[in-house]
Amino acid sequence: MKISSQILLTFLLNACWQVAFVAALASVSSWLFRNSAARYRHWIWVAALLLSVGIPLTTSTRVLRQGLSSNAPITEGVAIDPLVQTFARNSQPAQLTGSTLDSEPFLLSRPLALSLIGVYFAFLFYSGLRLGAAWYATRRMKLNAVHLEDQRLTQIVERCATAIKTNAVNVRLCSTESVSVPITIGMFNPIIILPRLLLNEGNEEVLTSAIGHELIHIQRRDYAFNLAYELLFLPLSFHPAAALIRRRIRQTRELSCDELVAERILNAEVYARSLVQLASGTPTLRRLSITTTVGIADADILEARIMSLLNKTKVDTPRKRMLLIAVSLLLLVPCLAAGSFAMKFDLKRSEAVNQEPSQQEKQRREEETVKRARATTVDFGDERAMKERMETDQAFREKMIARQELEMKMLAIKQSALVKMARITMDQAIQIATSQKPGNVLQCSLDAEHWEEPGKLAKDGFVFYRVVLVSTEDIETGASTHVWVNAVDGTIIRTEKELPRKPRPE
Protein backbone atom coordinates (compact mmCIF):
# COMPACT_ATOMS: atom_id res chain seq x y z
CA MET A 1 0.00 0.00 0.00
CA LYS A 2 2.85 2.39 0.85
CA ILE A 3 4.69 1.76 -2.44
CA SER A 4 1.50 2.13 -4.52
CA SER A 5 0.55 5.42 -2.88
CA GLN A 6 4.10 6.71 -3.24
CA ILE A 7 4.17 5.76 -6.95
CA LEU A 8 0.81 7.44 -7.57
CA LEU A 9 1.77 10.63 -5.73
CA THR A 10 5.09 10.80 -7.56
CA PHE A 11 3.37 10.31 -10.93
CA LEU A 12 0.61 12.81 -10.19
CA LEU A 13 2.64 15.66 -8.73
CA ASN A 14 5.55 15.36 -11.17
CA ALA A 15 3.11 15.23 -14.09
CA CYS A 16 1.70 18.62 -12.99
CA TRP A 17 4.88 20.44 -14.03
CA GLN A 18 6.39 17.95 -16.49
CA VAL A 19 3.33 17.92 -18.81
CA ALA A 20 3.19 21.72 -18.81
CA PHE A 21 6.91 21.81 -19.58
CA VAL A 22 6.52 19.39 -22.50
CA ALA A 23 3.53 21.36 -23.87
CA ALA A 24 5.55 24.58 -23.78
CA LEU A 25 8.43 22.96 -25.66
CA ALA A 26 6.02 21.49 -28.22
CA SER A 27 4.43 24.91 -28.74
CA VAL A 28 7.83 26.45 -29.50
CA SER A 29 8.70 23.56 -31.82
CA SER A 30 5.38 23.82 -33.64
CA TRP A 31 5.93 27.55 -34.10
CA LEU A 32 9.30 26.85 -35.71
CA PHE A 33 7.50 24.65 -38.28
CA ARG A 34 4.69 27.15 -38.88
CA ASN A 35 5.67 27.52 -42.57
CA SER A 36 6.19 23.79 -43.17
CA ALA A 37 3.80 20.96 -43.89
CA ALA A 38 1.22 20.33 -41.19
CA ARG A 39 2.31 16.69 -40.83
CA TYR A 40 5.53 17.85 -39.13
CA ARG A 41 3.57 19.78 -36.55
CA HIS A 42 1.32 16.76 -36.11
CA TRP A 43 4.32 14.56 -35.34
CA ILE A 44 5.58 17.14 -32.84
CA TRP A 45 2.32 17.09 -30.88
CA VAL A 46 2.12 13.29 -31.00
CA ALA A 47 5.66 13.13 -29.62
CA ALA A 48 4.62 15.62 -26.93
CA LEU A 49 1.76 13.34 -25.85
CA LEU A 50 4.09 10.34 -25.68
CA LEU A 51 6.63 12.31 -23.64
CA SER A 52 3.90 13.66 -21.34
CA VAL A 53 2.95 10.11 -20.43
CA GLY A 54 6.40 8.55 -20.62
CA ILE A 55 8.35 10.95 -18.39
CA PRO A 56 6.09 10.77 -15.29
CA LEU A 57 5.64 7.03 -15.84
CA THR A 58 9.41 6.50 -15.96
CA THR A 59 9.77 8.54 -12.79
CA SER A 60 7.19 6.37 -11.00
CA THR A 61 8.88 3.20 -12.28
CA ARG A 62 12.14 4.34 -10.71
CA VAL A 63 10.32 4.85 -7.40
CA LEU A 64 8.94 1.31 -7.65
CA ARG A 65 12.36 -0.10 -8.45
CA GLN A 66 13.93 1.72 -5.48
CA GLY A 67 11.14 0.52 -3.18
CA LEU A 68 11.63 -3.09 -4.22
CA SER A 69 15.40 -2.88 -3.83
CA SER A 70 15.07 -1.39 -0.34
CA ASN A 71 12.86 -4.30 0.70
CA ALA A 72 15.29 -6.90 -0.68
CA PRO A 73 16.58 -9.48 1.79
CA ILE A 74 20.00 -9.05 3.40
CA THR A 75 22.87 -11.04 1.88
CA GLU A 76 22.98 -14.61 3.11
CA GLY A 77 25.81 -15.67 5.35
CA VAL A 78 26.22 -12.24 6.95
CA ALA A 79 25.69 -11.85 10.68
CA ILE A 80 24.01 -8.53 11.36
CA ASP A 81 22.71 -6.98 14.51
CA PRO A 82 18.97 -7.92 14.71
CA LEU A 83 18.01 -4.46 15.95
CA VAL A 84 19.81 -2.81 13.03
CA GLN A 85 18.24 -5.30 10.62
CA THR A 86 14.76 -4.49 11.95
CA PHE A 87 15.20 -0.76 11.45
CA ALA A 88 16.84 -1.28 8.07
CA ARG A 89 13.76 -3.10 6.79
CA ASN A 90 11.47 -0.29 7.93
CA SER A 91 13.53 2.47 6.35
CA GLN A 92 14.37 3.57 2.81
CA PRO A 93 18.03 4.55 2.57
CA ALA A 94 18.98 6.60 -0.43
CA GLN A 95 21.16 5.28 -3.25
CA LEU A 96 24.51 6.61 -4.36
CA THR A 97 23.36 8.56 -7.41
CA GLY A 98 22.98 12.21 -8.26
CA SER A 99 19.27 12.09 -9.09
CA THR A 100 16.73 13.99 -7.04
CA LEU A 101 14.66 10.82 -6.78
CA ASP A 102 17.45 9.20 -4.75
CA SER A 103 17.23 11.84 -2.03
CA GLU A 104 14.72 11.97 0.79
CA PRO A 105 11.11 12.20 -0.45
CA PHE A 106 8.88 15.23 0.05
CA LEU A 107 6.50 14.23 2.81
CA LEU A 108 2.82 15.15 2.52
CA SER A 109 0.26 14.95 5.28
CA ARG A 110 -2.01 11.96 4.98
CA PRO A 111 -5.27 13.96 4.55
CA LEU A 112 -3.74 16.09 1.79
CA ALA A 113 -2.25 13.09 0.00
CA LEU A 114 -5.48 11.09 0.18
CA SER A 115 -7.46 14.10 -1.05
CA LEU A 116 -5.17 14.48 -4.07
CA ILE A 117 -5.43 10.78 -4.86
CA GLY A 118 -9.22 10.90 -4.48
CA VAL A 119 -9.59 13.89 -6.81
CA TYR A 120 -7.32 12.22 -9.36
CA PHE A 121 -9.36 9.03 -9.34
CA ALA A 122 -12.54 11.11 -9.72
CA PHE A 123 -11.09 12.74 -12.85
CA LEU A 124 -9.95 9.35 -14.10
CA PHE A 125 -13.38 7.82 -13.53
CA TYR A 126 -15.12 10.72 -15.27
CA SER A 127 -12.78 10.57 -18.25
CA GLY A 128 -13.23 6.81 -18.46
CA LEU A 129 -17.00 7.22 -18.49
CA ARG A 130 -16.76 9.82 -21.28
CA LEU A 131 -14.55 7.53 -23.34
CA GLY A 132 -16.91 4.61 -22.78
CA ALA A 133 -19.92 6.73 -23.73
CA ALA A 134 -18.11 7.93 -26.87
CA TRP A 135 -17.36 4.35 -27.89
CA TYR A 136 -20.97 3.35 -27.26
CA ALA A 137 -22.25 6.29 -29.34
CA THR A 138 -19.90 5.32 -32.16
CA ARG A 139 -21.15 1.74 -32.09
CA ARG A 140 -24.80 2.85 -32.22
CA MET A 141 -24.00 5.18 -35.10
CA LYS A 142 -22.38 2.31 -36.99
CA LEU A 143 -25.35 -0.01 -36.40
CA ASN A 144 -27.90 2.62 -37.51
CA ALA A 145 -26.06 3.53 -40.72
CA VAL A 146 -27.64 2.45 -44.01
CA HIS A 147 -25.43 1.01 -46.73
CA LEU A 148 -25.33 3.03 -49.98
CA GLU A 149 -25.19 1.50 -53.44
CA ASP A 150 -24.82 4.48 -55.75
CA GLN A 151 -22.81 4.22 -58.95
CA ARG A 152 -21.86 7.87 -58.87
CA LEU A 153 -20.50 7.60 -55.30
CA THR A 154 -18.63 4.44 -56.22
CA GLN A 155 -16.93 6.24 -59.08
CA ILE A 156 -15.94 9.11 -56.75
CA VAL A 157 -14.45 6.62 -54.29
CA GLU A 158 -12.46 4.88 -57.04
CA ARG A 159 -11.21 8.17 -58.44
CA CYS A 160 -10.09 9.42 -55.02
CA ALA A 161 -8.48 6.08 -54.12
CA THR A 162 -6.51 6.12 -57.36
CA ALA A 163 -5.36 9.69 -56.74
CA ILE A 164 -4.05 8.96 -53.24
CA LYS A 165 -2.80 5.45 -54.22
CA THR A 166 -4.74 3.42 -51.68
CA ASN A 167 -6.93 0.34 -51.78
CA ALA A 168 -10.60 1.13 -51.24
CA VAL A 169 -12.03 -2.37 -51.78
CA ASN A 170 -12.96 -2.85 -48.10
CA VAL A 171 -14.32 0.69 -47.70
CA ARG A 172 -18.11 0.93 -47.40
CA LEU A 173 -20.25 4.01 -47.92
CA CYS A 174 -23.18 4.51 -45.56
CA SER A 175 -25.61 7.22 -44.70
CA THR A 176 -27.58 8.28 -41.64
CA GLU A 177 -29.59 11.23 -40.41
CA SER A 178 -27.84 11.28 -37.00
CA VAL A 179 -24.70 12.99 -38.35
CA SER A 180 -24.35 16.36 -40.02
CA VAL A 181 -20.74 15.99 -41.24
CA PRO A 182 -18.83 13.12 -42.91
CA ILE A 183 -17.08 10.73 -40.49
CA THR A 184 -15.05 7.51 -40.61
CA ILE A 185 -15.47 4.47 -38.32
CA GLY A 186 -13.50 1.24 -38.12
CA MET A 187 -9.94 -0.03 -38.36
CA PHE A 188 -10.05 -3.24 -40.43
CA ASN A 189 -13.35 -2.72 -42.29
CA PRO A 190 -13.69 1.05 -42.38
CA ILE A 191 -17.00 2.78 -43.02
CA ILE A 192 -17.49 6.29 -44.38
CA ILE A 193 -20.77 7.73 -43.13
CA LEU A 194 -22.16 10.66 -45.12
CA PRO A 195 -24.96 12.96 -43.94
CA ARG A 196 -28.31 12.53 -45.69
CA LEU A 197 -28.46 16.27 -46.39
CA LEU A 198 -25.15 16.15 -48.26
CA LEU A 199 -26.41 13.33 -50.47
CA ASN A 200 -29.61 15.20 -51.25
CA GLU A 201 -27.69 18.27 -52.48
CA GLY A 202 -25.65 16.13 -54.89
CA ASN A 203 -22.79 18.62 -55.33
CA GLU A 204 -19.99 16.55 -56.87
CA GLU A 205 -17.17 18.83 -55.69
CA VAL A 206 -18.38 18.73 -52.09
CA LEU A 207 -18.89 14.95 -52.27
CA THR A 208 -15.39 14.49 -53.71
CA SER A 209 -13.92 16.69 -50.98
CA ALA A 210 -15.73 14.82 -48.21
CA ILE A 211 -15.02 11.31 -49.53
CA GLY A 212 -11.40 12.15 -50.40
CA HIS A 213 -10.79 13.58 -46.94
CA GLU A 214 -12.21 10.48 -45.26
CA LEU A 215 -10.21 8.14 -47.52
CA ILE A 216 -7.04 9.89 -46.44
CA HIS A 217 -8.07 9.31 -42.81
CA ILE A 218 -8.41 5.62 -43.67
CA GLN A 219 -5.07 5.55 -45.46
CA ARG A 220 -3.35 7.16 -42.45
CA ARG A 221 -5.14 4.79 -40.01
CA ASP A 222 -6.29 7.80 -38.04
CA TYR A 223 -9.15 5.93 -36.39
CA ALA A 224 -6.79 3.44 -34.70
CA PHE A 225 -4.29 6.14 -33.78
CA ASN A 226 -7.05 8.31 -32.38
CA LEU A 227 -8.12 5.50 -30.04
CA ALA A 228 -4.51 5.08 -28.90
CA TYR A 229 -4.20 8.83 -28.24
CA GLU A 230 -7.42 8.80 -26.20
CA LEU A 231 -6.11 5.95 -24.04
CA LEU A 232 -2.79 7.74 -23.54
CA PHE A 233 -4.63 10.93 -22.62
CA LEU A 234 -6.76 9.14 -20.02
CA PRO A 235 -4.24 9.19 -17.09
CA LEU A 236 -3.49 12.86 -17.87
CA SER A 237 -7.09 13.98 -18.35
CA PHE A 238 -6.90 16.23 -15.27
CA HIS A 239 -4.19 18.43 -16.81
CA PRO A 240 -5.13 21.42 -19.02
CA ALA A 241 -1.81 21.17 -20.87
CA ALA A 242 -2.59 17.55 -21.79
CA ALA A 243 -5.98 18.68 -23.15
CA LEU A 244 -4.16 21.31 -25.20
CA ILE A 245 -1.84 18.65 -26.64
CA ARG A 246 -4.78 16.44 -27.59
CA ARG A 247 -6.57 19.38 -29.25
CA ARG A 248 -3.44 20.28 -31.23
CA ILE A 249 -3.14 16.65 -32.39
CA ARG A 250 -6.69 16.80 -33.78
CA GLN A 251 -6.15 20.17 -35.44
CA THR A 252 -2.86 19.25 -37.12
CA ARG A 253 -4.35 15.93 -38.21
CA GLU A 254 -7.11 17.74 -40.10
CA LEU A 255 -4.63 20.21 -41.57
CA SER A 256 -2.49 17.29 -42.77
CA CYS A 257 -5.49 15.66 -44.46
CA ASP A 258 -6.46 18.98 -46.05
CA GLU A 259 -2.98 19.33 -47.50
CA LEU A 260 -3.09 15.83 -49.01
CA VAL A 261 -6.56 16.43 -50.52
CA ALA A 262 -5.40 19.71 -52.06
CA GLU A 263 -2.22 18.08 -53.31
CA ARG A 264 -3.60 14.86 -54.84
CA ILE A 265 -7.37 15.09 -55.37
CA LEU A 266 -8.71 18.62 -55.81
CA ASN A 267 -7.39 22.09 -56.41
CA ALA A 268 -6.77 24.02 -53.18
CA GLU A 269 -9.30 26.75 -54.07
CA VAL A 270 -11.97 24.20 -54.99
CA TYR A 271 -11.39 22.24 -51.80
CA ALA A 272 -11.47 25.40 -49.68
CA ARG A 273 -14.78 26.37 -51.29
CA SER A 274 -16.14 22.89 -50.52
CA LEU A 275 -15.14 23.25 -46.86
CA VAL A 276 -17.00 26.55 -46.66
CA GLN A 277 -20.07 24.95 -48.23
CA LEU A 278 -19.91 22.03 -45.77
CA ALA A 279 -19.70 24.51 -42.92
CA SER A 280 -22.71 26.48 -44.21
CA GLY A 281 -24.78 23.30 -44.28
CA THR A 282 -24.32 22.70 -40.54
CA PRO A 283 -24.55 25.01 -37.50
CA THR A 284 -20.76 24.80 -37.13
CA LEU A 285 -18.15 22.61 -38.71
CA ARG A 286 -17.64 20.58 -35.58
CA ARG A 287 -18.66 17.28 -34.08
CA LEU A 288 -22.12 17.54 -32.53
CA SER A 289 -21.74 14.55 -30.17
CA ILE A 290 -18.85 12.89 -28.35
CA THR A 291 -17.69 9.84 -30.33
CA THR A 292 -14.47 8.00 -31.13
CA THR A 293 -14.84 8.65 -34.87
CA VAL A 294 -12.54 10.73 -37.05
CA GLY A 295 -13.81 13.07 -39.71
CA ILE A 296 -13.64 16.31 -41.55
CA ALA A 297 -15.07 18.27 -38.60
CA ASP A 298 -12.71 17.10 -35.80
CA ALA A 299 -11.06 20.51 -35.46
CA ASP A 300 -13.08 23.71 -35.06
CA ILE A 301 -10.53 25.81 -36.97
CA LEU A 302 -12.27 26.42 -40.29
CA GLU A 303 -10.67 29.82 -40.83
CA ALA A 304 -7.18 28.47 -40.12
CA ARG A 305 -7.77 25.57 -42.51
CA ILE A 306 -8.90 27.86 -45.30
CA MET A 307 -5.93 30.19 -44.80
CA SER A 308 -3.55 27.24 -44.72
CA LEU A 309 -4.90 26.02 -48.06
CA LEU A 310 -4.78 29.40 -49.79
CA ASN A 311 -1.50 30.74 -48.35
CA LYS A 312 0.77 27.70 -48.45
CA THR A 313 4.48 28.42 -48.15
CA LYS A 314 7.23 25.87 -48.55
CA VAL A 315 10.51 25.63 -46.70
CA ASP A 316 13.63 24.66 -48.60
CA THR A 317 15.15 21.25 -47.87
CA PRO A 318 18.40 22.37 -46.11
CA ARG A 319 16.48 24.63 -43.74
CA LYS A 320 13.93 21.89 -43.11
CA ARG A 321 16.68 19.47 -42.08
CA MET A 322 18.16 22.01 -39.72
CA LEU A 323 14.73 22.64 -38.23
CA LEU A 324 14.16 18.91 -37.74
CA ILE A 325 17.46 18.56 -35.88
CA ALA A 326 16.79 21.67 -33.79
CA VAL A 327 13.26 20.59 -32.89
CA SER A 328 14.39 17.06 -31.99
CA LEU A 329 17.02 18.44 -29.63
CA LEU A 330 14.57 21.01 -28.27
CA LEU A 331 12.10 18.29 -27.35
CA LEU A 332 14.31 15.43 -26.21
CA VAL A 333 17.16 17.08 -24.29
CA PRO A 334 15.07 19.26 -21.92
CA CYS A 335 12.58 16.42 -21.42
CA LEU A 336 15.34 14.03 -20.39
CA ALA A 337 16.62 16.70 -18.03
CA ALA A 338 13.11 17.13 -16.62
CA GLY A 339 13.01 13.41 -15.87
CA SER A 340 16.27 13.63 -13.92
CA PHE A 341 14.97 16.56 -11.85
CA ALA A 342 11.81 14.73 -10.85
CA MET A 343 10.83 14.71 -7.19
CA LYS A 344 9.70 11.85 -4.98
CA PHE A 345 6.69 12.13 -2.68
CA ASP A 346 5.55 10.02 0.24
CA LEU A 347 2.91 10.19 2.98
CA LYS A 348 3.67 7.39 5.42
CA ARG A 349 6.30 9.16 7.45
CA SER A 350 4.65 12.57 7.48
CA GLU A 351 2.99 11.93 10.85
CA ALA A 352 6.33 11.07 12.41
CA VAL A 353 7.74 14.36 11.14
CA ASN A 354 4.91 16.32 12.72
CA GLN A 355 5.59 14.65 16.08
CA GLU A 356 9.35 15.12 15.93
CA PRO A 357 9.67 18.02 18.43
CA SER A 358 7.73 16.20 21.17
CA GLN A 359 9.66 13.01 20.50
CA GLN A 360 12.98 14.82 20.90
CA GLU A 361 11.80 16.28 24.18
CA LYS A 362 10.83 12.80 25.35
CA GLN A 363 14.26 11.49 24.37
CA ARG A 364 15.95 14.20 26.45
CA ARG A 365 13.88 13.30 29.51
CA GLU A 366 14.64 9.61 29.14
CA GLU A 367 18.36 10.36 28.77
CA GLU A 368 18.36 12.47 31.94
CA THR A 369 16.58 9.65 33.77
CA VAL A 370 19.24 7.18 32.66
CA LYS A 371 22.01 9.51 33.85
CA ARG A 372 20.37 9.92 37.27
CA ALA A 373 19.88 6.17 37.55
CA ARG A 374 23.53 5.56 36.74
CA ALA A 375 24.65 8.22 39.21
CA THR A 376 22.66 6.69 42.09
CA THR A 377 23.62 3.09 41.30
CA VAL A 378 26.07 1.56 43.78
CA ASP A 379 28.90 -0.66 42.59
CA PHE A 380 28.21 -3.99 44.27
CA GLY A 381 31.40 -5.70 43.20
CA ASP A 382 30.71 -8.79 41.20
CA GLU A 383 27.72 -10.24 39.38
CA ARG A 384 26.85 -12.60 42.24
CA ALA A 385 26.35 -9.78 44.67
CA MET A 386 24.18 -7.98 42.13
CA LYS A 387 21.93 -11.03 41.71
CA GLU A 388 21.60 -11.48 45.46
CA ARG A 389 20.65 -7.84 45.92
CA MET A 390 18.04 -8.08 43.17
CA GLU A 391 16.53 -11.22 44.73
CA THR A 392 16.28 -9.71 48.21
CA ASP A 393 15.53 -6.05 47.42
CA GLN A 394 12.35 -5.60 45.35
CA ALA A 395 12.75 -1.83 44.98
CA PHE A 396 16.30 -2.29 43.69
CA ARG A 397 15.12 -4.97 41.26
CA GLU A 398 12.41 -2.69 39.86
CA LYS A 399 14.92 0.14 39.53
CA MET A 400 17.37 -2.07 37.60
CA ILE A 401 14.62 -3.38 35.28
CA ALA A 402 13.51 0.19 34.54
CA ARG A 403 17.14 1.13 33.85
CA GLN A 404 17.54 -1.76 31.40
CA GLU A 405 14.34 -0.80 29.60
CA LEU A 406 15.51 2.81 29.25
CA GLU A 407 18.87 1.69 27.94
CA MET A 408 17.14 -0.49 25.35
CA LYS A 409 14.99 2.45 24.30
CA MET A 410 18.05 4.66 23.97
CA LEU A 411 19.74 1.99 21.89
CA ALA A 412 16.69 1.70 19.65
CA ILE A 413 16.58 5.48 19.19
CA LYS A 414 20.25 5.55 18.26
CA GLN A 415 19.91 2.68 15.82
CA SER A 416 16.87 4.30 14.19
CA ALA A 417 18.79 7.56 13.80
CA LEU A 418 21.73 5.64 12.33
CA VAL A 419 19.58 4.05 9.64
CA LYS A 420 18.02 7.41 8.71
CA MET A 421 21.44 9.09 8.46
CA ALA A 422 22.97 6.30 6.36
CA ARG A 423 23.00 6.97 2.62
CA ILE A 424 24.18 3.55 1.48
CA THR A 425 22.74 0.14 2.23
CA MET A 426 24.47 -2.69 4.07
CA ASP A 427 24.78 -4.64 0.85
CA GLN A 428 26.64 -1.74 -0.73
CA ALA A 429 28.92 -1.41 2.30
CA ILE A 430 29.72 -5.12 2.09
CA GLN A 431 30.51 -4.81 -1.61
CA ILE A 432 32.82 -1.86 -0.94
CA ALA A 433 34.59 -3.70 1.89
CA THR A 434 35.07 -6.92 -0.09
CA SER A 435 36.42 -4.95 -3.06
CA GLN A 436 39.01 -3.46 -0.70
CA LYS A 437 39.78 -6.72 1.11
CA PRO A 438 38.41 -9.92 -0.49
CA GLY A 439 37.17 -12.54 1.95
CA ASN A 440 34.17 -14.08 3.67
CA VAL A 441 31.92 -11.71 5.63
CA LEU A 442 31.42 -12.68 9.27
CA GLN A 443 29.54 -9.65 10.52
CA CYS A 444 28.26 -6.25 9.40
CA SER A 445 26.99 -3.63 11.84
CA LEU A 446 25.97 0.01 11.64
CA ASP A 447 27.45 2.40 14.23
CA ALA A 448 28.54 5.99 14.77
CA GLU A 449 31.08 7.96 16.77
CA HIS A 450 30.82 11.24 18.67
CA TRP A 451 27.17 11.43 19.76
CA GLU A 452 25.88 14.73 21.08
CA GLU A 453 22.71 13.10 22.40
CA PRO A 454 20.68 9.98 21.55
CA GLY A 455 19.49 10.39 17.99
CA LYS A 456 21.78 13.37 17.23
CA LEU A 457 25.42 13.32 16.18
CA ALA A 458 27.95 15.95 17.13
CA LYS A 459 29.51 18.20 14.50
CA ASP A 460 32.55 15.93 14.20
CA GLY A 461 30.47 12.73 14.34
CA PHE A 462 30.18 10.26 11.49
CA VAL A 463 28.19 7.13 10.66
CA PHE A 464 29.94 3.99 9.47
CA TYR A 465 29.48 0.30 8.73
CA ARG A 466 31.93 -2.08 10.42
CA VAL A 467 32.45 -5.12 8.21
CA VAL A 468 34.35 -8.08 9.67
CA LEU A 469 36.08 -10.19 7.00
CA VAL A 470 38.16 -13.36 7.01
CA SER A 471 40.41 -13.81 4.00
CA THR A 472 41.78 -17.10 2.72
CA GLU A 473 45.25 -16.58 4.22
CA ASP A 474 43.77 -15.64 7.62
CA ILE A 475 41.74 -18.83 8.04
CA GLU A 476 44.70 -20.82 9.40
CA THR A 477 45.87 -18.09 11.77
CA GLY A 478 42.35 -17.25 12.95
CA ALA A 479 42.83 -13.54 12.31
CA SER A 480 40.10 -11.24 10.95
CA THR A 481 40.02 -7.90 9.17
CA HIS A 482 37.77 -5.00 10.25
CA VAL A 483 36.86 -2.52 7.53
CA TRP A 484 35.14 0.75 8.48
CA VAL A 485 33.04 2.07 5.57
CA ASN A 486 31.57 5.59 5.66
CA ALA A 487 27.77 5.17 5.59
CA VAL A 488 27.26 8.49 3.80
CA ASP A 489 29.68 8.56 0.86
CA GLY A 490 30.96 4.95 0.84
CA THR A 491 34.64 5.79 1.44
CA ILE A 492 36.96 3.53 3.46
CA ILE A 493 37.67 5.13 6.85
CA ARG A 494 40.24 2.62 8.04
CA THR A 495 41.16 -1.04 7.90
CA GLU A 496 42.50 -3.01 10.86
CA LYS A 497 43.52 -6.63 11.37
CA GLU A 498 42.53 -8.36 14.60
CA LEU A 499 44.74 -11.26 15.76
CA PRO A 500 43.25 -14.22 17.64
CA ARG A 501 43.26 -13.93 21.40
CA LYS A 502 45.61 -16.20 23.35
CA PRO A 503 43.92 -18.47 25.87
CA ARG A 504 44.38 -17.46 29.51
CA PRO A 505 46.56 -19.77 31.63
CA GLU A 506 44.56 -21.71 34.21
Q: Convert the pLDDT of each residue in 83-95 to its tens digit.
A: 334 433 444 333 3
190 and 168 in a single domain? The answer is: yes
Which residue range is the domain that position 364 belongs to?
358-419
397 and 473 in a single domain? The answer is: no
CATH number of 470's domain: 3.10.450.40
> Has residue 31 been placed in a domain?
no
Cβ(141)–Cβ(293) below 8 Å: yes
User: Per residue of the chain (506 residues), what is the pLDDT tens digit?
Assistant: 567 777 888 888 888 999 999 999 999 988 988 888 888 899 999 999 999 999 988 888 876 676 555 444 433 333 444 433 443 344 433 333 444 555 566 777 888 888 888 999 998 999 999 999 999 988 888 888 888 888 889 899 999 999 998 888 888 999 988 888 889 998 888 999 998 888 887 788 889 999 999 999 999 999 999 999 999 999 999 999 999 999 999 999 999 999 999 989 988 899 998 888 887 765 544 444 577 788 777 777 888 888 888 876 565 566 777 777 888 887 788 877 777 777 777 665 434 334 444 555 555 555 665 555 555 444 434 566 767 777 777 777 778 787 877 777 777 777 777 777 788 888 888 888 888 788 888 888 888 887 777 667 777 778 888 888 887 777 667 778 888 888 888 888 888 887 765 555 54
273 and 402 in a single domain? The answer is: no
> Has residue 243 been placed in a domain?
yes
Please, which residues have CB within 8 angstroms of residue 178's CB and are 6 or more apart in sequence? 141, 144
The dihedral over CA atoms of 347, 350, 352, 354, expressed in degrees to the nearest 10, equals: -160
| CA–CA gap between residue 358 and residue 34 (Å, rounded) | 61
391 and 257 in a single domain? The answer is: no
Number of helices and strands in the chain (H, E): 17, 12
> Has residue 97 been placed in a domain?
no
Q: Which DSSP letter does residue 220 get?
A: T
136 and 278 in a single domain? The answer is: yes
> Has residue 230 been placed in a domain?
yes
413 and 432 in a single domain? The answer is: no
Q: What is the pLDDT of residues 343-358, one digit of tens each?
A: 777 665 434 334 444 5
Q: How many residues does the chain have?
A: 506
> Has residue 30 been placed in a domain?
no
234 and 377 in a single domain? The answer is: no
387 and 476 in a single domain? The answer is: no
- CA-closest candidate to residue 289, choices 123, 475, 95, 136: 136
Number of domains in the chain: 3
The last residue of one of the domains, among 247, 262, 297, is 297
The last residue of one of the domains, among 392, 419, 446, is 419
| CB burial readout 20-43, b (16+ within 10 A) else e | bbbbebbbebbebbeebbbbbbbb
pLDDT on residue 379: 44
> Has residue 402 been placed in a domain?
yes
Cβ(127)–Cβ(236) below 8 Å: no
268 and 396 in a single domain? The answer is: no
> Has residue 370 been placed in a domain?
yes
Three-state SS string across 4-60, please?
A: HHHHHHHHHHHHHHHHHHHHHHHHHHHHHCCCCCHHHHHHHHHHHHHHHHHHHHHHH
156 and 257 in a single domain? The answer is: yes
> Has residue 223 been placed in a domain?
yes
pLDDT on residue 52: 92
430 and 405 in a single domain? The answer is: no
pLDDT on residue 2: 65
Q: Which DSSP letter does residue 62 get?
A: H
443 and 478 in a single domain? The answer is: yes
pLDDT on residue 326: 80
pLDDT on residue 395: 78
Category of 496 on φ-ψ map: left (φ > 0), alpha (ψ -120 to 50) or beta: beta
The last residue of one of the domains, among 245, 273, 297, is 297
Q: Which DSSP letter does residue 192 get?
A: E
